[in-house]
Structure 1
Amino acid sequence: MEHEDDFAFIRDQLRRQRALRGMPQDEFGKRANYSASTVSAAETGTRAIDMPYAKRADEILETGGLFVRLLKKAQRFSEPSWWERWLDAERAAKQLRNYHPSLIPGLFQTENYARAVLRLELTRPEVELEKLVASRLERQEILTRDQPPLLIAVIEESALRVRDAIMAEQVRHLLRMAELPYVQLHLIPADAGLHVGLNGHLSLARSADGCWVGSMENQIVDSIVDDEESIATLLTRWEGVRGAALPENLSRVLLKKIESQHRPQ
């Protein structure tokens, strides 16, 4: 596939730039805090090159951000075309709204949680899995830029009740995110009963000019929409979801209670 050629090009350039500096794999690895076997795996394609690796390569090889730019391009074009449209809307958004009936929103996911969710596809090769994890974490950079979007997320309490170390870490991360001034986090309590959101995930992005783009999975069809009728449907369903959720202060109380229950007894 074409995007696989992009990743192969990055690997070739890593080997070339390292060789031009007369730097063996073990020396590069030592300076980058990676083992020689990890460096070898990255350069042969048996380990995915993620953003931290690309950044360290740029620093050590003094390539002026080359590998970060190449990796961003490769990750972008490795996404399905319909999903790329959503990513464009997400990057340009002034406001984001997100709900999923069973998962934590991607912009809030820790690396370990993202990996566990993406691994649910049992036929997915490990290298592909790591590329997807890296891409998901890359999306979260919009929350650390100078002017991040207002992010309003609704999460089901039941999605936080898995008792393992990954979820404990994830809940702690959600508490930190909930403290940010541009994040509004709402929980739907487990006893809320049936509501319209249980039909499926929905996301909405509002641009600076007031235009909306929606991502729908099992709400109407699996697609990205911006037509007036579909957006109106999603906004109505969002209001139903938001209406079933607790206000911010009570959501934070419940989240802290859940976090305490994840601690070792």
Structure 2
Amino acid sequence: MAAKRGATFRRRELGKELRKLREKRDLTIQEVARELKFSHSKLARVEIGENDLPRVGAEAMRAYQPSFVFGFFQTEAYARALYQLAKPIDETTTEYVDTNVQLRMERKELITRSVDPVKLRVIMDESAVRRMVASREVMREQYAEIVAMGELENVTIQILPHDVLTYRTESNFVLIDFSETLAPVVQIDQWNTISVSDERSDVLRTIRRFDAMRDSALPPAHTAGFLKKLTTEWT
């Protein structure tokens, strides 16, 4: 049963949470899909866990990642290393690893597409980029990829250093903004649980968390230099 804690299970749990939010607002699939500007069949697939909402409906995202490189920035080699390390623990298959690595690579299109790319701002704790999950070569390649992603006009990346006295949270989260008529939601990921909320108090609390860490993190212009310095440590 441990394998159910993988990406497929998490998408299903996220779909359930999103369906609860829709039903709480007394909205039909067609109404929500129309606001998100995609077909109701896509939203239906989100609710049964075959797709993830951030990939198909977000206009802007703010995220914090304390442990690993943020998913949209991961290279194929780095992502594969993460899944391989977890494989004997979660009792997953090689096919599972291959499928989820491919899905992770496809999600990059959300921020790299030429038409209406999602506006993304990410804060990564220093631990997330320092933690060795693969060979030195893979880590160097990963740092270069983060730098390249940070050069996109719609992407802002900050590093929160170890030696800064500031608020931190151990859970990674994503604040997702949709159209003006749909409330923003916050998705919080923990080891074996995922929660989604559009409650104003939850969203505002998460915004305060994000803003506190944003204000304490290195300026975006310093991210490339920080990572290039780390690169020299892996030579």
| TM-score past 0.5 threshold | yes
Give the residue type in structure 1 aligned to 2:189: E
Matches within 5 A, 1:208-223: 208-209=179-180, 211-218=183-190, 222-223=194-195
Paired residue total: 187
For residues 74 and 211 of structure 2, the distance between their equivalents in structure 1, rounded to whole angstroms, comes to 24
**Which residue in the other structure is 2:105 paired with?**
137
- Tell me if the contact between 2:178 and 2:184 (Cα under 8 Å) persists in the aligned partners: yes
Decide which of 183, 206, 210 is 1:238's aligned counterpart: 210
SS at match of 2:52: helix
TM-score, normalization by structure 2: 0.71
1:249 equivalenced with 2:217 (yes/no): no
**Which residue in the other structure is 1:175 paired with?**
147
**Which residue in the other structure is 2:125 paired with?**
156
**Which residue in the other structure is 1:205 paired with?**
176
Give the residue type in structure 1 aligned to 2:127: S
Unaligned 5+ segments in structure 2 are 1-6, 16-45
Rg: which structure is higher?
Answer: 1
1:120 equivalenced with 2:119 (yes/no): no
Unaligned 5+ segments in structure 1 are 1-74
For residues 84 and 219 of structure 2, the distance between their equivalents in structure 1, rounded to whole angstroms, comes to 33
For residues 10 and 63 of structure 2, the distance between their equivalents in structure 1, rounded to whole angstroms, comes to 23
SS at match of 1:120: helix
Structure 1 residues 208 and 81: CA distance shift in structure 2, 3 A:
same
**Which residue in the other structure is 1:188 paired with?**
160
SS at match of 1:192: coil
For residues 79 and 158 of structure 1, the distance between their equivalents in structure 2, rounded to whole angstroms, comes to 26
Structure 1 residues 78 and 206: CA distance shift in structure 2, 3 A:
closer
Structure 1 residues 76 and 143: CA distance shift in structure 2, 3 A:
farther
Give the residue type in structure 2 aligned to 1:99: Y
- Tell me if the contact between 1:90 and 1:96 (Cα under 8 Å) persists in the aligned partners: no
**Which residue in the other structure is 2:19 paired with?**
none
Tell me the C-alpha RMSD between the 2 structures.
2.6
Give the residue type in structure 1 aligned to 2:58: A
Higher RCO, 1 or 2 (CA under 8 Å, sep at least 6)?
A: 2
TM-score, normalization by structure 1: 0.63
Structure 1 residues 154 and 114: CA distance shift in structure 2, 3 A:
same
1:82 equivalenced with 2:50 (yes/no): no
Give the residue type in structure 2 aligned to 1:111: E
TM-superposed CA distance for 1:113, in Å, is: 0.9
SS at match of 2:85: coil
Structure 1 residues 240 and 133: CA distance shift in structure 2, 3 A:
same
For residues 230 and 223 of structure 1, the distance between their equivalents in structure 2, rounded to whole angstroms, comes to 11
TM-superposed CA distance for 1:166, in Å, is: 1.6
Q: Percent identity?
A: 27
For residues 115 and 192 of structure 1, the distance between their equivalents in structure 2, rounded to whole angstroms, comes to 31
SS at match of 1:180: coil
Structure 1 residues 96 and 169: CA distance shift in structure 2, 3 A:
same
Decide which of 69, 77, 82 is 1:104's aligned counterpart: 69
